[in-house]
Amino acid sequence: MKKGIIIFQKNLIPGRVKSRIAEMVGDQKALEIYQVLVNYTHQQVEHLECKKLLYFSDYVENSFENDKEYQVFIQSSGDLGQKMGDAFKDQFENGFDQLLIIGTDCAEITLEVIEKAFEKLENSEVVIGPAKDGGYYLLGMKRFISGLFYDIPWSSAEVFNQTCSYLITHQISFDLLPTLSDVDYLEDWVKVKERLMHPQSK
């Protein structure tokens, strides 16, 4: 059984990350917040027993060039669906039996949640981790299902519902993980800041 997790990560470029937070606190502070979220995400996958496939938005960052923990890639062009679909398609062609994808925006995701996703793929073709904003923080599958990546209104509150509708219409079995929150707005960050910045105190 060849299992992998695809991690979509934006490069650390001021003005290119956490735009809605940057409107409130400026580009540099938003970049610092995103760096904390990135670090948290990597801590959660650190002990995951599968291949880790790290996809950067623009270029491979120096600190990851010789990192034995990850295979590194550049995301393809197009909208989010195109980028995710291309990553899944390429990696299934590389011989994977189960693949998950996550971003670097969810401060509530844990190693346990990710491991549960792989467990659910034992009995379902697809697993989804719904986000409270109507999107999803995790998607997993056992084969490439192209319809999940096209004609979806990305960055809208309809992503999760339309994804489920497609699966139901095409009679594809799926299971769900707990609903979690992404950090998209300053108020989201305020709720998790203390836990992420000072984990030892919790």
What pTM was estimated for this model as a whole?
0.96
Is pLDDT of 201 > 70? no
pLDDT class of 71 with cuts at 50, 70, 90: very high
Strand order in the sheet with 71-74: 71-74, 51-56, 3-9, 98-102, 136-141, 126-130, 174-176
Domains in the chain, please, with CATH?
A: 3-195 (3.90.550.10)
| Residue 198 pLDDT class (50, 70, 90 cuts) | confident
Report the percentage of the chain scoring pLDDT > 90: 93
Could you tell me if 101 and 139 are in contact, meaning their C-beta atoms sit under 8 angstroms apart?
A: yes
Strands 136-141 and 126-130, sheet pairing: antiparallel
Mean pLDDT of the chain: 95
3-class DSSP assignment, residue 48: coil
Given a cut of 80, whether residue 199 has pLDDT beyond it is no
Query: What pLDDT is recorded for position 202?
Result: 47
* Residue pLDDT, tens place only, 60-70: 988 887 788 99
> Which stretch of DSSP H or E encloses residue 174?
strand 174-176
Q: Counting every residue, how long is the chain?
A: 202
The pLDDT of residue 195: 93
Q: For residue 52, list its beta bridge partners.
A: 5
Question: Hey, what are 109's tokens?
Answer: 């995701």
Cα–Cα distance measured from residue 109 to residue 55, given in angstroms and rounded to the nearest whole number = 18
Check whether 43 has a pLDDT greater than 70.
yes
Q: What six digits make up the tokens of 25?
A: 């606190």
Q: What is the mean pLDDT of residues 92-110?
A: 98
Q: Which residues of 103-113 are buried (b: 16+ CB within 10 A; e: fewer)?
A: bbbbbbbeeeb
Q: Helices (DSSP H) in the chain: which residue ranges?
A: 19-25, 27-45, 80-93, 111-120, 159-169, 186-197
Residues of the chain above pLDDT 70, percent: 99
pLDDT for 188 beyond 50? yes
Give the pLDDT of residue 101: 98
Mean pLDDT of 90-95: 98
Q: What CA–CA distance (Å, rounded) separates 33 from 197?
A: 10
Over the stretch 136-171, which tens digit does the pLDDT of each residue have? 999 999 999 999 999 999 999 999 999 999 999 999
Tell me which H or E stretch contains 51: strand 51-56
Structure tokens given for 186: 């300053």
